Chains A and B, each alone.
Chain A
Amino acid sequence: MTIKYSLNILPIVRKEFRQIIRDKRILGVLLFFPALMLFAFGYALNFDVKNTRMAVYDEDRSSASRDFIQQFFTSEYFIKVQTLSSKAEINNLLDGEQVRVVLVVPSSFSKDIQRGKSASVQVIVDGANSNAAATVLGYINAMIQQYSLKIMAESFMRIGGQQITLPIDFQPRVWYNPELKSAKFLVPGLIAFILMVTTVISTALAVVRERELGTMEQIMVSPIKPIELILGKTIPYIIISLIATAVILFFGYVLFDVSIKGSIFLLSMMTILFLVGGLGVGMLISTLVETQQLAFMIAVIVSMLPTFILSGFVFPIRNMPAIIQGITYLIPARYFLVALRAIILKGAGVSAFWDQAIFLTIYAAVMIGISSLRMRKFLA
């Protein structure tokens, strides 16, 4: 009797594994792709705005204006592409994306400073990419304010006042990621993204493929129980996903110095919880559709886009409209990301993300529950 009730999943696991391994390209994608993405995100994809192309139109042509302009190009944020000789050139430069910023210093600049008046400069920014533009605006604004403080003190000395001490000594500090490297922010997100995409898409396809090719009927007439089929189909992908996670963490550490500050055990537990949820979604999709094409479309819609956009991976959730913020509560990656960032970047313990763990557990339980019920119905 005991034999009859024990789960017999090993053969399915073995078969599924063999199928994955035989198809070298898929295995390569599952293992190699995470490392490639990490590489890309670490080196190429970031929001660090540097070397912004700038054109200068200096109507004043004085030593004061040159000094003012010079400060922009001693920083790493701007590179001078062109010096303009008329205002008319500005349009074409910005339209053709040759420059992102145009700095206009009016002819009265040095005179105004001499007379102790407020000298005004004009900055024209290409706002199309709003995020980059906001960052650039911030840098320019900060540099101009700093310069303003400087000429304020200088001009006061010139007119015979005593030296001005700046009233406030501004001491900025950045925690958790002091060099403000995007890679640190993106590594946890990347783990969530890749895990979600690979688990949902591959599980959804694994089952639908059998249906489309007609091999599902063969499985149905065999004495395999639904739970065995589900476990057998998903375990190989869980293992591959865990290996992929390890690969990401390893390269994150080697290439970008992203070390896990918190407990690796907690990290693994949260990852497994998240994976189980993702597999549940994949299973559910596979019971709803008949063709791989459709399974793929739905898997992309429910996994890729939301995990990229609605989870806080790239776009901060708090900037979203209230209704979208509400929707993000349905995205498991949202909870996983909070926990991952807390463990990896902040070294926080369970107390910082226990609520996220509960949400993930509920999500995984619901998804596995619904998909098993449906799977049973259609295997019967």
Chain B
Amino acid sequence: MNIIFHIIKKEFIQFRQDKKMFIVSFFAPVFQLLVLGYAATFDVSKIPMAVCDFDNSASSRALVRNFTSTEYFRVVGYYDKISEIDNQLDDGHASIAVVIPRGFEKKMGAGQSAPLQVIADGTETSSATIGLNYVFVIVSTYSQNVVLESLIKRGSVMMPARLSTEFRIWYNPDLKSRNFMVPGVLGLLLMVMTMILTSLAIVKEKELGTLEQLVVTPIKPYQLIIGKLAPFFVIGVIDVILVVFFASVVFSLPVKGGVLLLFGLSLIFLMTTLGLGLFISTISRTQQQAMMTAIFFFMMPMVFFSGFVFPIENMPAIIQYISYLIPLRYYFVIVRGLFLKGVGMSILWTQALALLIFGSVILSLSVMRFQKRLG
């Protein structure tokens, strides 16, 4: 026990001596939180819209007003030539354009269908889909009102049926991307700070040849491993505290499902990241190699295929199955469940169990590999 304590102490001293590293280790999480919290937003509102109203009638103006009165669109300009609409879309100044042809009001008055052209810039798929749907809803509502009004004008006593919808949005009622992203940062952070830095720290000793010196001392491999992993474990715990603090204070996003449960489950997740870090160190000779392996073969695929930004449900079936092999996947469900939904173990126990199995398997495999290579 004493030996482990001394190794841990040595690691901490080394860590603190590298002042720049020390600063960066604490600055990085805060930076990530702020960037992801404030910048990683899909919140589609104020889509820039160009309007080309050739009709310029009371009806066409009323329709345009229906667009401008919502939060969804922001009119960047009114144009009277189609070519100008082309330019606006080409330059990316407008993402959506509405063209109301001449004779719009006349046709509607005559009981005909008046054409309405809406052009969306499809380069940003998400915005284009959401934008077109908004336009459609506004146009349909307008259509229904036109029909109703004309019936009233004609003195009809009978009114046709309509549908109204009551939307309820759970867990994230304002549909803020931030609320989805910030809990996810915790998973990302723990990966970078524990998995990658663990592998680097061990490979560095290999590269500089100091690992061999440690091997010839009476330190046992398991003591070395615990001593090497402990500092990163502590960093991981500090990161959890940091994120919980920032989430509740800066982003007013408290842990609804309980802070203690979050800590407990995060510790299980740390087993997997530390285990992977150790594993990467056993398959890399140089720090550059370890880093490349950690980033490109572990971190990025894990982040992308675990549902951090892109929903797993949209992926092809085979990739959905592969994603079950990514511990981060389970952790994301856990943090989002705890932060947003306020669910407890009755819902999360499957995720927790999966993490526990992964953690024990990865950690014991890596420890075995590490010992074998030292022996």
Chain A residues with CB under 8 Å of chain B are 23, 25-26, 29, 33, 37, 40, 43-53, 94-97, 100, 112-135, 137-142, 144-149, 151-153, 155-156, 159-161, 164-182, 184-185, 197, 201-202, 205, 209, 212-213, 289, 291-294, 296-298, 300-301, 305-306, 309-310, 314-316, 318-321, 323-324, 327-328, 338, 341-342, 345-346, 348, 352
Contact = CB atoms under 8 A, between A and B. Distances in A.
Contacts of B121: 174-176
B215 interface: no
Nearest to A51: B313
B160 A324 contact: no
A126 B35 contact: no
Contacts of B44: 131, 134, 316, 319
**Interface extent on B, as a size class?**
35 or more
Contacts of A23: 286, 288-289
Interface string B70-112: 0000000000000000000111100000000000000010011
B263 interface: no
11 contacts: A49-B314, A96-B347, A115-B161, A124-B169, A128-B171, A172-B136, A291-B18, A293-B21, A309-B39, A320-B41, A352-B91
B114 interface: yes
B341 A26 contact: no
Interface stretch (B4-12, B220-228, B230-238, B304-312): B304-312
B43 A130 contact: yes
Nearest to B117: A171
B162 A177 contact: no
A300 B41 contact: no
B118 interface: yes
Given A23-B289, A121-B163, A127-B172, 8 more contacts: A51-B313, A95-B343, A121-B165, A131-B180, A138-B133, A167-B108, A213-B207, A315-B42
Interface in B24-68: 24-25, 28, 31-32, 35-36, 38-46, 48
Given A126-B170, A149-B140, A175-B119, A95 B341 contact: yes
A180 B90 CA distance: 17
Contacts of A301: 24, 28, 31
A314 B130 contact: no
A352 B89 CA distance: 11
Contact of A169 (B18, B113, B141, B162): B113
A110 to B, nearest CB: 10
A337 to B, nearest CB: 11
Contacts of B32: 305
A33 B311 CA distance: 22
B271 interface: no
B113 A167 contact: yes
Given A118-B161, A128-B340, A130-B177, A201 B291 contact: yes
Given A127-B173, A291-B18, A309 B36 contact: yes
Interface stretch (B196-204, B242-250, B367-375): B196-204
9 closest A-B pairs by beta carbon, nearest first, are: A138-B133, A177-B122, A145-B140, A131-B42, A148-B163, A127-B172, A127-B169, A156-B160, A174-B122
B210 interface: no
A209 B287 contact: yes
A25 to B, nearest CB: 6
B354 to A, nearest CB: 14
B296 interface: yes
